[in-house]
Structure 1
Amino acid sequence: MRASSNALILAATALVGLAGMLPAVGGPIMRALQPFRFAAQSHAASRQVAIVEMDARSVAEIRQWPWPRRHYAKVVDELREAGAATIVFDVDFSSASNPIDDRAFAAALQRAEGKVTLPTFGQQAGARDLRTLDALPLDLFRAHAALASVSFSPDVDGLVRSLPFATITAGTPRPSLSAYIAARAGVADVDYPVDFSIDPDTIPRLSFVAVERGAFDPAIVRGRNILIGATAIEMGDRYPAPLRGVLPGVTIQALGAETLLRGVPVRGTPLATFALALLLCVPGLRARRRDVAAGVFAVGLVSLTVVVLAAQRWLAIYFPLGLGWLMLSTGGCLFVARDIFRRFRTGRLYDEATGLPNQRALVSQSGNRAGVACVVQLTNLEELSAVFDTMQVAQGIVRTAERLRLCSAYDVVYRVRSHQLALLMPTHEIVEDQLATLRTLLLQPVEIAGRKVDIAVALGVAEDGDMAAAALAAGDAAAAGLFWRRAALNRDRLENAVSLMGELDVAIAAGQIEVHYQPKLSLATDRIASVEALVRWRHPARGFVSPGAFVPLAEQSDRIEPLTLHVLERVIGDAARWRAAGHEVTAAINISAKLLDAPAFIAAVDQLLDTAPVAPEALIFEVTESAAMSDPTIARATLHHFRDRGVAISMDDYGTGQSTLSYLRELPLSELKIDRSFVQFAHERQSDAKLVRSTIDLAHALGLKVVAEGIEDAENLAFLRAANCDYAQGYFIDRPMPFDALVVRLGKLSGSVKPNAPAGNRARAE
């Protein structure tokens, strides 16, 4: 695809180049670039040519026009005596004047012994008479002088860019003044480009009257070719030229002579510029990035310019620069247009952050590809986003996608939502085997910003290729804390989820809501000193319903209050039973942020505490940072109220919010729970270790206990012991368990632990 578009761009560039060779297209471009071309290599004249100016000073002093020819005679004598190599006039001597002055001038020409050249030229007969009349010097003068042509024609825009090698006057080919001075032969009516990069101000100049009086430095004349012509504005012999503005005709003749003295200019074939420009386009088109391509095309323009100008300066070959610029500019613009189109298409079909194909790309390909639909839901994306910046999170997602590609039927992984990836798995392999391979790959941490990080995932699979059903199954798997779940073919799951809350009140009344307990290990005694109460729903028809599926819905539908009171009542009863068995273990209950400003809930809790068979000191209310900070005044008052009653207050998921030291000081906290995202790799990463240690030291300085959650392995636990952490909680310590299993666990003589689950990719059970 890319190669074919490159070929099209090259073809279009070549067509533009061919069009640029046409005078109607390339001419204006060439003329527009000429000032730059000359300015880029502006240099001084060789000083082999000098000008005797018929300037304003001379006009003012002679005060007569035409000038009496005795003045010219005197100037010729002065220049001859000063050692001029040649004396070339750009002055009309075709008509007779005062006979005495004419004879004086003829005598001066004779004394010059052939060093003087007089001009011939052709002019239009009249305004309506298009015939050309040739003007030659008088016969009296031609006897002792050479003849040269001063004719030249401006371009269509009125600027003079070239001079002829020779013209035909009176039926005889005659060299131009510039060709005569430089002793260059040429064909009549064939012109050459004048090098206007020569600075005309560096040509030596003498005033006509100063030469006539002998008031000049002979060194300026000796051995040089002398051009005599009008430079005074009132004489009117002036022409516009590229870069240099309006110049006297004699100055243009001098620049022409300087050009030929360096060598005969040659107009290079446009095909050479065409081929070079086309060749220089190729590296730019092969670039993958716009900025790189822009640099390559810029280098191409510079390289082309350097080659063309070098050929002009050192070889006197004039290749068309505008053609090359036109082609490279065209190639660059077409590249940019293609890049913009691709970026637009990429913006529509690819995720901006990761570069992965998006939902639109999946839909566009859905009719062309078949396989087992698999949606991978990132279940800890929020936690990752709290720890890493957007680019780093995207980096983790890309690395996860790279692993998923190993099992993709088409080697394509789509990012269909911010927290979901999708792929098609081959139909010729058993789904369970493919998922086993995926699990092995995904259990390995990925590296983000130098840190090894778990990307927790849950998978949904639809064997009929239905991505929507697979996405729903992935959500169910995440809610259930499972690695994967197969999508059912029926579509009533969404309706059931919506109606789930309608059954919650019945479930509470029917005793379907269970409470499981996850132990917290006291690192000082190696015994279980506390537990966290986690709600579970055993639905008679649906089976196990994960808290992730109904707790958020309960909060949204204002059913979180009866659910929390039910859990609290159950925990109080269970705590009384295990305490009666001799286990002085506290129990922590999660309190939703929405309940901290609910008077009815506070009153109901007070009533439960008043009638509880256990002291309030046996209970811990866990609130998240966001709960404590959403309305600090009300939260502080409510938490102080419970703390005054003897209930301990714990701040859950510490480190993921925006808490300040003032909150730690003002809230009636008993403990901090450090979020697992900081704990799980603290034994491997120095930065995490410093954060955990400093948090522990800060908490202890404030008189608080510290709970580290998310303990996954023995090394992590050993680090926390060395850091003087108070409690550890996680799958390595124990999984959540029902009351009976907890009592058995508490009955053991020691609280020592052993691994209960492999470290790696786990869904947190709540």
Structure 2
Amino acid sequence: MPGRAFGRSVVWAIAALAGAVAGSLGFGAGIERGLQDLRFEVRSRAASGDVHLVEIDARSIQAIERWPWPRRNHAALVERLDAAGAEVIAFDVDFSSRSNAADDAAFARALDASRTPVILPTLRQSAGGGRSGVIDSLPIPQLRRSVALAAVSVLPDGDGQVRQAPLGVVTAGVPRPSLSAMLSGRAGVADAAFPIDYAIDPATIPRHSFIDIRDGHFDPSALAGKRVIVGATAVENGDRYAVPRYGVIPGVVIQALAVETLARGVPIAAGWQGPLLLAMLLAIGFGMARSRVALGTLLAAAPMGMLAAAIACEAWWQVQFPIVPALIGLGVAGGGMVALRIAAAARARRGIDAATGLPNRVALGRDHPGGAPVAIATARIADFDRLVASIGPGDVAALVARICDRIALTTDAATLYRIEDRLLAWRVLEDAETIGDRFAALRATMLSPVEVAGRRIDVTLAMGFAEDEAGDALRAAGNAALAADQAIAAGESWQVHAAGSEASLEQELSLMSELDEAIDRGELAVVYQPKLDLACDRITSVEALVRWNHPARGFLSPDHFIPMAERNGRIERLTLAVVHQTIADLERWAAAGHAITGAVNLSANLVSDQAFNQALRELLADAKVDPAMLTFEITESAAMIDPEGVARALAEFRKLGVRISMDDYGTGQSTLTYIKQLPLDELKIDRMFVQFAHQDRGDAVLVRSTVALAHELGIKVVAEGIEVAECLAFLRAAGCDMAQGYFISRPLPPDALLALLASGERRWAA
């Protein structure tokens, strides 16, 4: 995406600038030194053995007993080394002042007679004593006749550590090679320096005590053909310097390390620009990483790669690169890429429904930013709260996923969005004229139960469709959702959005007006589903169910017009009409010799409604049957909203003689306290726990435990959803009181029920 590409480009530019600024200002010098020490450790190696040290050590000083030594001792040393066949003898000892004449002469004669080349030191050092300037120190003229002169100056850095050595130094106005350059045969370029390779372990440089060489207590073959450096290592001589990795070591050891360094070539101290360029090339990979794991791997590998490249350059080509600016560039680039990825992830999370992982309303608007006309379809999950209560919040995602699978299969939807907890949306290519075929296919697909967590659940979808010429997907989705709601209100499976919300409001109000007229004209039909008393194996009760066969709209499901009646304040009239019809039918059946009870579903809106209670009193006062023949079924979820208030209201019904049943038990969050608190006569176990209780161990446990609990509290138990004989047999064995379901009978009109009662049919008999 262009935005992401621009973000990466900005990060790369900032990273390169940060590295360049760090390199130019020398930022991170301490870190650089630490990394250089680490590289020395990694490349650690032994000395070549071609350079030997003759130490003016503590034992030698003790043996000779004075310092400076009489120069006849140096003369004797030269004679011994010359006789041993040393390749070259180099002194790191100051001979710039005279001693006694005899010793100076003896040393001079030894130097003149030596067949082995001898190098004497020149030094350039500060004047000291508060005076400015430098002093050049050369050996006395008497000693210079047959020797070479080389500079032995050291070059401490600002922190006092010696990291480099000179190739040449101007002393007394003459450019001279350094001791290390002369011993290694390198050109002694004045005022040029090179980095010393402290990967060489100084402990591996062969050493000999001065006194042993002078007195001949050594193996001459060990020094034959070797380059020998003579210098002080005793602490009391004070010729010691701080160096990387090894702390404080004698100056002569530094000279030997410098010679060992130059033996492989002249090292180059390169700049920071090359490593920074390599770092930026590596940083390009950060932006190309396809996953967090890949990015994390690159972030870890890139610095290691830089360090490995630096080590390789030093080991193979003797080029030392400062890498801190490059690492700073990598760090800025890596941090920037991580920040971009975090921002992108946060942006993506805003577009994801946390419960299901589906894209949400934000994603819908982002995926369809507008410009071209767009058409959106929505599917609202009917009775969603009850479904959630029945399966539990943990299985909601699985339920939505199963529904999405069916929608995708039926509609060819490329992406499904969960724009509300119970509302799904997707973009469609059909128009308002052809979308009906897709919706009809989806409706047919949803007729089969959805399996979630081993349970088969009936799910109903109400669908809506809307178009938006400006390409506003969110506006289209909102209109499609409104169309789905209108479909529910109209008792239809789907609707196409019509411009203007007034039309939908008028449609709902119109339907409610027609409901009033239907009640007044007695057009609503009440049917009854029998309940089987398992103790006597007879039908002793029924549940009243309302039906509305609209003259123009056809059959309207109660799930469509009852919620609409609740929203529009019509549920009281509708319920009283059902109660009135049920009482009339109970009277007629009783007159025919069949004294059975009847149950009516009571909306949560009516539990505490005083007007309803008064109207109910009047109905019961005129009734010719005992009020105990009437049962009100309230849902468990309604009872749990306000248990104390519901308990008081139900107690009023009990005073009238009406029995109370808790419907859909098991689908909510009821507790023993609530069940004990409510004035219940029966519990009605929801069909989803009953239907497969003879097969599902979990359902069986719930049914048995509910029966046992209810009986302990003096409450009868009704199980609904019995569709096979095996399920009924299980309920008998579990001690259930009553059973209801299609295996016993489907809902019947009053006359058909009377005929069933009169026939004595008992196909359900044990």
TM-score normalised by the chain length of structure 2: 0.74
* Residue pairs, 1:499-538, within 5 angstroms: 510=520, 514=524, 516-517=526-527, 519=529, 521-522=531-532, 524=534, 529-534=540-545
8 Å Cα contact 1:574-1:739 kept in structure 2: yes
Q: CA deviation at 1:376?
A: 0.9
Match of 2:46 in 1: 46
* Residue pairs, 1:201-212, within 5 angstroms: none
Residue 331 of structure 2 corresponds to residue 332 of structure 1: no
Match of 1:367 in 2: 370
CA distance in 2, matches of 1:76, 1:397: 100
CA distance in 2, matches of 1:218, 1:515: 126
8 Å Cα contact 1:526-1:750 kept in structure 2: no
Residue 435 of structure 2 corresponds to residue 431 of structure 1: yes
Aligned match for 1:471, one of 464, 468, 481: 481
Q: CA deviation at 1:474?
A: 0.9
8 Å Cα contact 1:78-1:212 kept in structure 2: no
8 Å Cα contact 1:683-1:689 kept in structure 2: yes
Residue 375 of structure 2 corresponds to residue 376 of structure 1: no
Residue 636 of structure 2 corresponds to residue 625 of structure 1: yes
Other structure's SS at 1:42 match: helix
- Deviation per CA, 1:192-250: give whole Å up to 9, x if none: 433445677x5789999999999x9999x9889666358969969646x6666777755
CA distance in 2, matches of 1:445, 1:197: 76
8 Å Cα contact 1:30-1:320 kept in structure 2: no
8 Å Cα contact 1:706-1:726 kept in structure 2: yes
Match of 2:661 in 1: 650
Aligned-residue CA RMSD (Å): 5.9
* Residue pairs, 1:457-606, within 5 angstroms: 457-462=461-466, 466-479=476-489, 482-493=492-503, 495-496=505-506, 510=520, 514=524, 516-517=526-527, 519=529, 521-522=531-532, 524=534, 529-534=540-545, 564-565=575-576, 567-593=578-604, 605=616
Match of 2:307 in 1: 305
CA distance in 2, matches of 1:63, 1:512: 136
Q: CA deviation at 1:377?
A: 0.9
CA distance in 2, matches of 1:731, 1:487: 38
CA distance in 1, matches of 2:669, 2:26: 68
CA distance in 2, matches of 1:535, 1:742: 15
8 Å Cα contact 2:71-2:104 kept in structure 1: no
- Deviation per CA, 1:549-571: give whole Å up to 9, x if none: 77668778888666655543443
- Deviation per CA, 1:12-35: give whole Å up to 9, x if none: 648956995799449546763341
CA distance in 2, matches of 1:748, 1:111: 146
- Select the structure of larger CA radius of gyration: 2
- Deviation per CA, 1:412-466: give whole Å up to 9, x if none: 4333222212223223672222123333555566666676665542111236774
Read off the aligned partner of 2:440 and give its amino acid letter: A
Read off the aligned partner of 2:139 and give its amino acid letter: P
Match of 2:472 in 1: none
Aligned residue-pair number: 745
Structure-2 change in CA distance of 1:377 and 1:237 (3 Å)? same
Read off the aligned partner of 2:494 and give its amino acid letter: W
Match of 2:140 in 1: 138
CA distance in 2, matches of 1:468, 1:548: 23
Structure-2 change in CA distance of 1:42 and 1:500 (3 Å)? farther
Task: Compare 100-109 and 605-614 and name the one that shifted more.
Answer: 100-109
CA distance in 2, matches of 1:556, 1:58: 111
Structure-2 change in CA distance of 1:14 and 1:639 (3 Å)? closer
Residue 227 of structure 2 corresponds to residue 228 of structure 1: no
8 Å Cα contact 1:674-1:708 kept in structure 2: yes
Structure-2 change in CA distance of 1:259 and 1:631 (3 Å)? same
* Residue pairs, 1:575-724, within 5 angstroms: 575-593=586-604, 605=616, 608-609=619-620, 611-633=622-644, 635-636=646-647, 639=650, 647-665=658-676, 667-676=678-687, 678-679=689-690, 687-688=698-699, 690-692=701-703, 694-696=705-707, 698-699=709-710, 704-709=715-720
Q: CA deviation at 1:471?
A: 1.1
CA distance in 2, matches of 1:227, 1:518: 120
Structure-2 change in CA distance of 1:15 and 1:667 (3 Å)? closer
- Deviation per CA, 1:487-508: give whole Å up to 9, x if none: 3444215644897999799669
Q: CA deviation at 1:472?
A: 1.4
* Residue pairs, 1:45-444, within 5 angstroms: 46=46, 68-70=68-70, 73=73, 77=77, 89-96=91-98, 99=101, 102=104, 114=116, 117-122=119-124, 135-143=137-145, 147-151=149-153, 153=155, 160-166=162-168, 176-178=178-180, 183=184, 185=186, 188=189, 191-196=193-198, 228-229=231-232, 238=241, 252-253=254-255, 255-257=257-259, 259=261, 265=267, 277=279, 281=283, 284-290=286-292, 292-306=294-308, 308-309=310-311, 312=314, 318=320, 321-322=323-324, 325-326=327-328, 328-363=330-365, 365=368, 367-370=370-373, 372-386=375-389, 392-394=395-397, 396-398=399-401, 400-401=403-404, 403-405=406-408, 411-427=414-430, 430-443=434-447
Read off the aligned partner of 2:371 and give its amino acid letter: N
Other structure's SS at 1:421 match: strand
Q: CA deviation at 1:310?
A: 5.6
Structure-2 change in CA distance of 1:629 and 1:422 (3 Å)? closer
CA distance in 2, matches of 1:271, 1:174: 33
CA distance in 2, matches of 1:60, 1:602: 122
Other structure's SS at 2:70 match: helix
CA distance in 2, matches of 1:431, 1:118: 103
- Deviation per CA, 1:232-281: give whole Å up to 9, x if none: 69969646x66667777556545545655688656789898678656755
Task: Compare 500-509 and 145-154 and name the one that shifted more.
Answer: 500-509
CA distance in 1, matches of 2:258, 2:762: 105
8 Å Cα contact 2:528-2:747 kept in structure 1: yes
8 Å Cα contact 2:89-2:119 kept in structure 1: yes
CA distance in 1, matches of 2:327, 2:60: 46
Match of 2:32 in 1: 33
8 Å Cα contact 1:392-1:449 kept in structure 2: yes
Structure-2 change in CA distance of 1:23 and 1:330 (3 Å)? closer
Task: Compare 257-266 and 429-438 and name the one that shifted more.
Answer: 257-266
Read off the aligned partner of 2:385 and give its amino acid letter: E
Other structure's SS at 1:588 match: strand
Other structure's SS at 1:70 match: coil
Other structure's SS at 2:667 match: coil
Q: CA deviation at 1:675?
A: 3.5
8 Å Cα contact 2:75-2:107 kept in structure 1: no
CA distance in 1, matches of 2:480, 2:178: 89
Other structure's SS at 1:614 match: coil
Read off the aligned partner of 2:31 and give its amino acid letter: A
Match of 1:758 in 2: none
Read off the aligned partner of 2:32 and give its amino acid letter: L
CA distance in 2, matches of 1:397, 1:79: 99
- Deviation per CA, 1:473-523: give whole Å up to 9, x if none: 212334556432333444215644897999799669846794644625538
8 Å Cα contact 1:376-1:420 kept in structure 2: yes
Match of 2:473 in 1: none
Structure-2 change in CA distance of 1:349 and 1:631 (3 Å)? closer
8 Å Cα contact 1:518-1:729 kept in structure 2: no
